[in-house]
Structure 1
Amino acid sequence: MKRKGKWVLTSILSLIFILLLGACSGNTSGEKVEVSGPDTKEDASSENLKLVHDGKLTFAMSGLLKPLNYKDNNELVGFDVEIGTEIAKRIGLEPNPVTNPWETINQGLKGNKYDVIIGSMTATEERLKQVDFSDPYYISGAQIFVAESNDAFQTTEDASGKKIGVMQASTHKEVAETMTDDVKGYPSEIYALQDLVPGRIDAVITDKIVGVSAINEQGLKIKLVGDVLNREEISVAINKNHDVLLEKINEAIAEMIADGTYEEISMKWFGLNIMEN
């Protein structure tokens, strides 16, 4: 009798174990169940580009820097716009150029209003503390411009005590402040250059390309003084920790230069290859 009782108890325990095992597996088909954790694989379509808008490369500029970036019939055009558009296409994204006031353009980037800045920004050590930069997409430098009739300003030494115009929040402001105590800020370098001929300011320090373009396109009666004051690498600014997108941008720039597309765009806007300027 005791032996029979033990057998019954053993059978009941075995049945309970089988039922519990089936309930835990939740699989009555007999198929093997694989338990997977969070997907840690890189998304093959977006490649962790961390875009503000899916499928688009949104890039910012002031829109006031002709011929680099400006509005023509409410459409953003210019060298920067074409470079940004070409970069976007080579990454497989729709180009989405936007404008932002230059003095707050870095804040807009950090606030994720756009993905990158393609607005003729110089890569500097100070800015590198806040953002990352791509390889340069053109080379330029600060240049002094004066009115054609101004023969009193012929060298950098003549800047002492003179009123020099610069664009607000630009690296040219720092250069001007080493030359004179009288520095006037403008929302656009074009506005500063236009103040030269009436004599409202004595000189302007701006990007050489901007000044030369103003002479060629607007017929401003201004001239260059001396050589460039410094060599500047103009690059795409991007938020830190966006390494995949940064790598794609660098690849696109290198491809453009190698296949001749870059030189075509540069010649269209400046009549020279400004990567070599």
Structure 2
Amino acid sequence: MRSLRRAASAARPVPRRRIRSPWRAYRPLGRAYAREMRLVALALVGIALVSCLPQQGTSSPTPTARPSAARPRFELASYMYALQTKGKIRIAVLENAPPFAFREPNGTYSGFEADLGRELAKAIFGPLPNEDSVIEWVAVDRSTAVNALAGLPSPAADVSFASIIPTPASSSAVDLSDPYLLSGERILIAATNDEIKDIPDLDSQTVCVTQGTSVGDDVQMANEFAKTLTLDSYASCLGALRRSQVDAIVADEATCWQLMKEDPGTKLVGRYLTTEEHAIGVKKSAANDREGFLSFIDGWLAGAIRDGTWARLYGLDISPFSKETKTTPVP
């Protein structure tokens, strides 16, 4: 009997004891970790796929150029657009008239008017590493500056920065801009002279002028009590000033600048006795062949005065001669 019970007991399945895992309490943490691992794996797969895509270029140790401003856009019928299409602007300037314009020994042009011409080229073609690459310089003198624009069958220049003075003759031959410079006759005295400061101070003073000019008449018109001494040249006048034989010299401003360069012991004083405006010249429009050009130049010039470009160029080119600073063409 006992043996039968033992056999029956041995035949029964032994219930399995459930072993409690010590990691059961950490199961939620394991799920979060698994999710993070899946995200990391997906990110790595994404990086690998992107690296396999074709690249837009290869790296280079040389620096890339800065993006430049776009070329200005003009109406198709405008002369500015025609110049852009040609890729050149012909600018007439004086060859030997410092500080306005003069040719350097290497053939390049310098001076106030030449630099203004470069600024105009920039306004038409946009910023360039070298504005001279779109400029064809046309050498003129004051007697040929107008003809360079009005010549037939075709003008030699598109625009003239050659100290054109508005007169009935020049105004009838070409179109002229607003003034970009004001000049005229000035008073030059010894730097040690503190008595003469302006035109009224020329009373009873001796003023040197040169033969063959109207300067003597201009002095008398400005101050009838001034005395004049007429000599053959301004070199002679400068010598007379050094020897105190005269009290002042009156000449056009550019001549005074040259005398100041020759003798640093002199200075300019006072207002202009006479004034002359310098204008930019362009060919008169015929059948709209200069459409919008003059109004564009006037607008560009006004902007150059307003933003300080004009004053910067005056300080660069003229102030070393005049010893003066200006911010506008007309006081």
Match for 2:117 among 84, 87, 91? 84
Q: Map of 1:59-70 to 2, 5 A cutoff?
A: 59-70=91-102
Report deviation, 1:253: 1.0
Match for 1:75 among 108, 124, 127? 108
Report deviation, 1:122: 2.4
CA deviations 1:44-87 (Å, max 9, x no partner) are: 55723576x93222121222221111122232101111111101
Q: Which moved more, 1:106-115 or 1:220-229?
A: 220-229
Distance across 2 between alignment mates of 1:113 and 1:177: 38
The answer on 1:116 being equivalent to 2:159 is: yes
Report deviation, 1:229: 1.6
- Tell me how many residue pairs correspond in the alignment: 219
**Match in the other structure for 2:7:** none
**Match in the other structure for 2:326:** 273
Match for 1:47 among 41, 64, 78? 78
Kindly provide the amino acid, as one letter, of the partner of residue 238 in structure 2: V
The answer on 1:164 being equivalent to 2:236 is: no
Distance across 1 between alignment mates of 2:182 and 2:237: 25
**Match in the other structure for 1:227:** 271
**Match in the other structure for 1:142:** 185
Structure 1 stretches of 5 or more lacking a match?
Answer: 1-42, 167-172, 186-191
Structure 2 stretches of 5 or more lacking a match?
Answer: 1-73, 127-133, 193-200, 221-228, 241-247
Larger CA Rg, structure 1 vs 2: 2
Match for 1:100 among 123, 135, 140? 140
Report deviation, 1:233: 2.4
Kindly provide the amino acid, as one letter, of the partner of residue 123 in structure 1: P
Quick one: percent identity of the two aligned structures? 22
Q: Map of 1:181-196 to 2, 5 A cutoff?
A: 193-194=234-235, 196=237
Match for 1:261 among 295, 305, 309? 309
Report deviation, 1:274: 5.1
Which TM-score applies when normalising by structure 2? 0.52
Measured on the aligned residues, the alpha-carbon RMSD in Å equals 4.3
Distance across 1 between alignment mates of 2:272 and 2:96: 22
Distance across 2 between alignment mates of 1:140 and 1:195: 23
Distance across 2 between alignment mates of 1:184 and 1:103: 26
The answer on 1:133 being equivalent to 2:133 is: no
The answer on 1:212 being equivalent to 2:251 is: no
Secondary structure in structure 2 of the residue aligned to 1:267 = helix
Whether the 8 Å CA contact 1:121–1:236 is kept in 2: the answer is yes
Distance across 1 between alignment mates of 2:144 and 2:231: 18
The answer on 1:197 being equivalent to 2:241 is: no
Q: Map of 1:235-246 to 2, 5 A cutoff?
A: 235-241=279-285, 242-246=290-294
Which TM-score applies when normalising by structure 1? 0.60
Distance across 2 between alignment mates of 1:90 and 1:147: 43
Distance across 2 between alignment mates of 1:206 and 1:224: 11
Residue 65 to residue 155, structure 1, CA distance change in 2 (3 Å)? farther
CA deviations 1:109-153 (Å, max 9, x no partner) are: 21111112102222234421222111121233332547889xxxx
CA deviations 1:211-260 (Å, max 9, x no partner) are: 33652x55455554753122332210122113522122112112212222
Residue 214 to residue 163, structure 1, CA distance change in 2 (3 Å)? closer
Secondary structure in structure 2 of the residue aligned to 1:123 = coil
